[in-house]
Structure 1
Amino acid sequence: MKPRCGAIVQSDGSVRWIVWAPKADRVEVVLIEGDTRTFHEMTREQQGFFSFLKDHIPNGQRYAYCLDGGPERPDPASCWQPDGVNQASAVLRTDEFTWSDEGWTGVSREDLVFYELHVGTFTPEGTFEAIIPRLATLRDLGVTALELMPVGQFSGTRNWGYDGVHPYAPQHSYGGPHGLQRLVNACHLHDLALFLDVVYNHIGPEGSYLGEYGPYFTDQYRTPWGAAMNFDARGSDAVRNFVLDNVTMWIDAYHVDGLRLDAVHAIYDFGARHILQDIKETADKTARARGRKIHIVAESDLNDVRLLLPPAEGGYGIDAQWNDDFHHMAHVALTGERQGYYEDYVETEQFPKLMEHTFVLDGCYSPHRGRSHGGPDAGLPGDHFIVCIQNHDQIGNRACGERLNALVSSAAQRLAASLLLLAPYLPLLFMGEEYGEEHPFQFFCSFSDSALIENVRRGRRREFESFHAHGREVPDPQDEATFAASRLTWSWETDPRKAGLRCVYQDLLRFRRECPALRDYSQRSARMLPDAQSGTILELVRGERRPDAGGIIQAFFNLTAQPQSLPFQDLPAPLWTSEAPHYDGERRAGMPHDLLLPYECLVFGSPQ
């Protein structure tokens, strides 16, 4: 059992510093008081660990490490970086915060409705605590879980978070450790879970000194963002524990309800036990000890349910995974875009497969990749899969960060919401989606190194060369105006169109909670209606027709901008329509029940 690294506060109030530095022969901890520095030589332990114990250390005490007499470096396991990524670390006493969420046990997986947000652009203040006044509005909407984009300390004050270099330290410009504790506590008091997006596949490009301490990285693999973390080569035991202790810390010290693991297809581990399995088992062990529900979800582009299967069946036991196929199918159908990876999703006939069998690419040929891709869903219920029509990647990785409402009509936005919330999967909303936020979500950063800044700018320009060729400029990611332009406006209350879209989300989320058929993630069937124009009406049936099964819901989606007729006679009045007048839609009293307006969703059924 390896010791946990960092400045660990002991039960008697003293602090023990533990650092893994196998590359060093001698390590000193430097205690900093203004311009005064006191050097203390650490005791060398086994396998490259060093330790030092001292009494009477106040909260916020600045400290650093010196390796073999070299320059001062922040702690790799620093829990607080109040002065930035390159400066001294600070001792953190997380137990000084008074929690009031004693009765909170979490949200069951089948009840999860995710709301992904970026702390810095969610409010004008851009802090953890500034989110708190918005929690009641999100709960009223029907959201059950906030998912924060990564909050580990990154360089500067503006970043998506995936360039973090201190994975234990909540971003100081967001409000630091105590700000995050206050936000989580407030979420629980509003019956909201809080998930953190965590990055275990790489470390950001500015302010990381891990490589000076030990073999945190490996040359055996490479990620698109830099060196891969070392989970299976020499020295990997300590690196694995660095990650597993991080999982435990978020659950114990911050009471988070789950972690979203970023891009697990870029987490390389060919050992007998994959690090993902260890992450899940660590979270489960901590959850049992705390009496709370903790969920581990993963982003993966492999379409491989090995992530979800239990270890006894050769899997890793992850609770749920993202399914980008859903976004891509909806996006292509509504926007007509077919470039890049969208070329795999141009056939609307694949919608029934998406709704019934989760993956479009389930081992079939992918024109974009030039090979077969993915595998079947193994019959797993839909609450193992998270889907969206917008997220930070799909918006922010566009040249100008346009949201869906900048690309499609209001009716198509309502249809997209209907596809998302009536589908047999766990939905994820991206901040502002629920009311059609008009501000984009662009790629931004605030690095200090001029060469790195220019490399990022050059990379963005190269990625969107065709965009440049049409005479348009890609926003400068380093420009503060790019960040400011991505901030939410919260303008739905005075705009009937936006208020109507928000009502669509609110009503459908209520429908999901109250309708048994929509709470059944296993019973579903779908088809493209054969008599519809060019096969562009999708029929989705949720639930079972047995009298004791809770009724069925039958939804029809017009995927075109033209009105279409349903090939049925004597249809009853629909239970719901996306084109209702109070949604700012076009359906009026007296219109035939078998008429589907452009981009309309009609719902029929017998919910119990």
Structure 2
Amino acid sequence: MMANTDLQIGAVLQADQRCRFGLWGPELQSVELQLLLPQAVTVPLKPGDRGFWSVTVDGVAPGTQYRYRLNGDSAYPDPASQYQPQGVHGPSAVVDHSAYDWGDGAWGNIPLPDYVIYELHVGTFTPQGSFEAAIARLPDLKALGISAIEIMPVAQFPGQRNWGYDGVFPYAVQTSYGGPAGLKRLVDACHQQGLAVILDVVYNHFGPEGNYSGCYGPYITQKYNTPWGGAINFDDAWCDGVRQFVVQNALYWLRHYHIDGLRLDAIHAIYDFGAKHLLAEMAEAVAALSAQLHKPHYLIAESDLNDSRILRPAEQGGYGIDAQWSDDFHHALHTLLTQEDNGYYQDFGSCQALAKALRDRYVYNGTYSPFRRRRHGNSATDLPTTQFVVCAQNHDQVGNRMLGERLSQLVPFEALKLAAAVTLTSPFVPLLFMGEEYGETAPFLYFIDHGDPDLVQAVFQGRKREFKDFHAIGEPPPAHEEATFQQSTLNWDLRHQGHHKTLWQYYQQLLTLRKQLKLGAPAWADDMQVGYDDAKGLVYYQRSLPQGSVLVVMNFNPTQSAIAVAPPRQPWYLGIDSATAAWQGPGSSLPPAIAVSQTIVLAPLSFALYKRN
């Protein structure tokens, strides 16, 4: 067995059948390791520098369960536990990472511009809700044209079901999904089929049940408030130990689970006003690991700040994060399709907004936001489009609706095809939310399995308050009931039926076209000429490619719209038209080629792409 030399904390098995136990507790007076063997063993830990405690014990087998007794009083699970076989309130267990025989030695990751991401929730992706069951679906994703899966958080959370953002053991893999071995098998299977793996991780808060970190030290600070309570302590007294806990966690997933990239949840709620931001420190550490392992690893931030500093390199004063989610793209597209204007959607709803998102990355890049009632964002036009992940749907935008409706429940079939085409032919990195590729009709609801009735009620009341901004009528489904969770499971058989089958084939064709034309190549400001006509519901652009160029036209009107095409230097040839009978559309009058100046008429809610070499 090889030691996990990158970790000062947790249970680290050594090569000589010894186990080093380490933790961080800067204000503790004493720590005792309780090994839960047939004959219970108690061993004191020795204090070290800056609040670290450790002890090395002989003859500790993988799977051995343990707790720490603090200050001669109560005993708790390890904050850096790598496995919680009895749940968040039970003892921790030792994991042997050398025991798994990886079969992905030939895998070296793929360039980020080649990523087509498929976001999935393990518990509802299949009826079985496990890592093992997900493996059986990988050939379907590969056949669709997916190149990377993004797994919603799997850090141990309370109970059997949760979105994953209530995790309280950042190093432990959820038991109900299949634990450490199950995750490794899934990642290994992905790599052997040519699929990259992104893991969603949460470094802005701990969940409300089963979080024992506060018993050990100041992991939380009250200097700042987040929507989930006090912020994680990244710049207050004793923050160095917390920063190391988090940075080492990022490396842990990449090293020991062969994860290819991390999606960093809600980094706008990571509060750090020190001279070097936590994210910059993390990016440096990940870059060093990538150099050591001779393959790239990516950090992708979720942020609503519209702050290009997140993406800029350190020499420009940035954090060096590889990419970020683009909320503005989603909001601009969603509001054009649905006409919704509540909450933050009031800032969008025009063809101009979508055109700006396509051209400038951010719609709000220092301009005034009516929803925020202030100026918002800064410019990112000098950054490549491949640093932005875009989608028409994701877990947040579906699941944070009161009834969890997907676009398939909100807009007609033609609009679903339009949304898919806008996203998948864009110059950004596209992300699909599980099931959208065939128009899944099941909702994706918010669900929990907390054991505290008062906490369940608090969650219910909190969700109701959140929906006030969107003027939702009625009450959300009870998040704690298993039926709410079961309603959210994918209905895979729909893929073979009617419009659902056509939509799946349409997504497949779009992804084939994306690969053939190299639409994922980075685009810069000079590569795109974008236009719009709000009166006609039109957005259109021309884009230069490594080989040739494309003309993209979109009609968001429920009626036909005409657009004049200037005389091209070379003919345009039709690549895809969402309105044709082949895609169960209403029919199209678009010409197969455009060689002279002419006016073309787009069908209602339709998309077309012309190409030339």
2:361 is the alignment partner of 1:364: no
Residue 239 of structure 1, aligned match among 226, 242, 262: 242
**Deviation (angstroms), 1:182:** 0.4
Q: Report if the CA contact (8 A) 2:552-2:607 is conserved.
A: yes
Q: How far apart, CA to CA, are the structure 2 residues paired with 1:477 and 1:239? A: 31
Q: How far apart, CA to CA, are the structure 2 residues paired with 1:45 and 1:238? A: 12
Partner of 2:184, secondary structure, is helix
Q: Find the counterpart in structure 2 of residue 581 from structure 1.
A: 581
Q: Find the counterpart in structure 2 of residue 558 from structure 1.
A: 555
Q: Report if the CA contact (8 A) 1:305-1:378 is conserved.
A: no
Q: How far apart, CA to CA, are the structure 1 residues paired with 2:209 and 2:584? A: 48
Q: Find the counterpart in structure 2 of residue 478 from structure 1.
A: 480
Paired letter, 1:490: W
Q: Report if the CA contact (8 A) 1:8-1:15 is conserved.
A: yes
Q: Deviations over 1:531-574 (max 9, x none)?
A: xx714111121216xxxx51111011001110122224898662
Paired letter, 2:428: Y
2:603 is the alignment partner of 1:597: yes
2:8 is the alignment partner of 1:11: no
Q: How far apart, CA to CA, are the structure 2 residues paired with 1:238 and 1:590? A: 62
Residues 107-118 of structure 1 aligned to structure 2 (within 5 Å)? 107-118=110-121
Paired letter, 1:13: Q
Q: How far apart, CA to CA, are the structure 1 residues paired with 2:176 and 2:49? A: 37
CA RMSD of aligned residues (A): 2.0
**Deviation (angstroms), 1:583:** 2.0
Q: Report if the CA contact (8 A) 1:518-1:553 is conserved.
A: no
Q: How far apart, CA to CA, are the structure 1 residues paired with 2:467 and 2:224? A: 27
Paired letter, 1:164: G
Q: Report if the CA contact (8 A) 1:320-1:386 is conserved.
A: yes
**Deviation (angstroms), 1:354:** 1.2
2:494 is the alignment partner of 1:488: no
Q: Find the counterpart in structure 2 of residue 195 from structure 1.
A: 198
Q: How far apart, CA to CA, are the structure 1 residues paired with 2:536 and 2:438? A: 30
Partner of 1:574, secondary structure, is strand
Identity %: 43
The 10-residue stretch of structure 1 (563-572 or 315-324) with the greater mean CA deviation from structure 2: 563-572
Q: How far apart, CA to CA, are the structure 2 residues paired with 1:109 and 1:361? A: 25
Paired letter, 2:586: E
Partner of 1:566, secondary structure, is strand
**Deviation (angstroms), 1:464:** 3.3
Q: How far apart, CA to CA, are the structure 1 residues paired with 2:505 and 2:20? A: 53
Q: How far apart, CA to CA, are the structure 2 residues paired with 1:251 and 1:518? A: 25
2:541 is the alignment partner of 1:540: yes
Q: Report if the CA contact (8 A) 2:113-2:520 is conserved.
A: no
Q: Find the counterpart in structure 2 of residue 227 from structure 1.
A: 230
The 10-residue stretch of structure 1 (434-443 or 212-221) with the greater mean CA deviation from structure 2: 212-221
Q: Find the counterpart in structure 1 of residue 447 from structure 2.
A: 444
**Deviation (angstroms), 1:22:** 1.9
Q: Deviations over 1:71-112 (max 9, x none)?
A: 220001000001000110001001100001001000101101
Residues 12-411 of structure 1 aligned to structure 2 (within 5 Å)? 12-33=16-37, 36-411=39-414
Partner of 2:557, secondary structure, is coil
- Shift in alpha-carbon separation, 1:467–1:51, aligned structure 2, 3 A: closer
Paired letter, 2:550: I
**Deviation (angstroms), 1:454:** 0.8
Partner of 2:40, secondary structure, is strand
Paired letter, 1:493: R
**Deviation (angstroms), 1:208:** 0.6
Q: How far apart, CA to CA, are the structure 2 residues paired with 1:59 and 1:391? A: 38
Q: Report if the CA contact (8 A) 1:499-1:583 is conserved.
A: no
Q: Report if the CA contact (8 A) 2:124-2:486 is conserved.
A: yes
Partner of 2:136, secondary structure, is helix
Q: Report if the CA contact (8 A) 1:467-1:473 is conserved.
A: no
Q: How far apart, CA to CA, are the structure 2 residues paired with 1:592 and 1:47? A: 70
Q: Report if the CA contact (8 A) 1:78-1:168 is conserved.
A: yes
Q: How far apart, CA to CA, are the structure 1 residues paired with 2:240 and 2:255? A: 22
The 10-residue stretch of structure 1 (580-589 or 308-317) with the greater mean CA deviation from structure 2: 580-589
Q: Report if the CA contact (8 A) 1:81-1:153 is conserved.
A: yes
- Uncovered stretches (5+) of structure 1, i.e. residues with no partner: none
Partner of 1:52, secondary structure, is strand
- Shift in alpha-carbon separation, 1:65–1:336, aligned structure 2, 3 A: same
Q: Report if the CA contact (8 A) 1:520-1:543 is conserved.
A: no
Q: How far apart, CA to CA, are the structure 2 residues paired with 1:259 and 1:568? A: 43
Q: Deviations over 1:215-252 (max 9, x none)?
A: 11111111111221111121111111101111111111
**Deviation (angstroms), 1:402:** 0.2
Q: Report if the CA contact (8 A) 1:128-1:179 is conserved.
A: yes
- Shift in alpha-carbon separation, 1:87–1:75, aligned structure 2, 3 A: same
Partner of 1:24, secondary structure, is coil
Partner of 2:53, secondary structure, is strand
- Shift in alpha-carbon separation, 1:465–1:232, aligned structure 2, 3 A: closer
Q: Find the counterpart in structure 1 of residue 512 from structure 2.
A: 510
Q: Report if the CA contact (8 A) 2:537-2:561 is conserved.
A: no
Q: Report if the CA contact (8 A) 1:528-1:535 is conserved.
A: no
Q: Report if the CA contact (8 A) 1:513-1:519 is conserved.
A: no
The 10-residue stretch of structure 1 (44-53 or 422-431) with the greater mean CA deviation from structure 2: 44-53
Partner of 2:401, secondary structure, is coil
Q: Find the counterpart in structure 1 of residue 466 from structure 2.
A: 463
Partner of 2:396, secondary structure, is helix
Q: Deviations over 1:244-274 (max 9, x none)?
A: 1111111111000000101111111111111
Paired letter, 2:335: V
2:422 is the alignment partner of 1:419: yes
**Deviation (angstroms), 1:389:** 0.6
Q: How far apart, CA to CA, are the structure 2 residues paired with 1:542 and 1:168? A: 44
Q: Deviations over 1:365-389 (max 9, x none)?
A: 0000000000111411100001111
Paired letter, 2:436: E
**Deviation (angstroms), 1:461:** 2.6
Q: Report if the CA contact (8 A) 1:352-1:526 is conserved.
A: no
The 10-residue stretch of structure 1 (586-595 or 473-482) with the greater mean CA deviation from structure 2: 586-595
Partner of 1:567, secondary structure, is strand
**Deviation (angstroms), 1:189:** 0.3
**Deviation (angstroms), 1:591:** 7.7
Q: How far apart, CA to CA, are the structure 1 residues paired with 2:279 and 2:469? A: 38
Q: Deviations over 1:52-79 (max 9, x none)?
A: 1111111110100000122220001000
**Deviation (angstroms), 1:281:** 1.1
**Deviation (angstroms), 1:467:** 8.6
Task: State the number of aligned residues.
Answer: 599
Paired letter, 1:293: P
Paired letter, 1:558: N
Q: How far apart, CA to CA, are the structure 2 residues paired with 1:2 and 1:381? A: 33
Q: How far apart, CA to CA, are the structure 2 residues paired with 1:474 and 1:301? A: 25
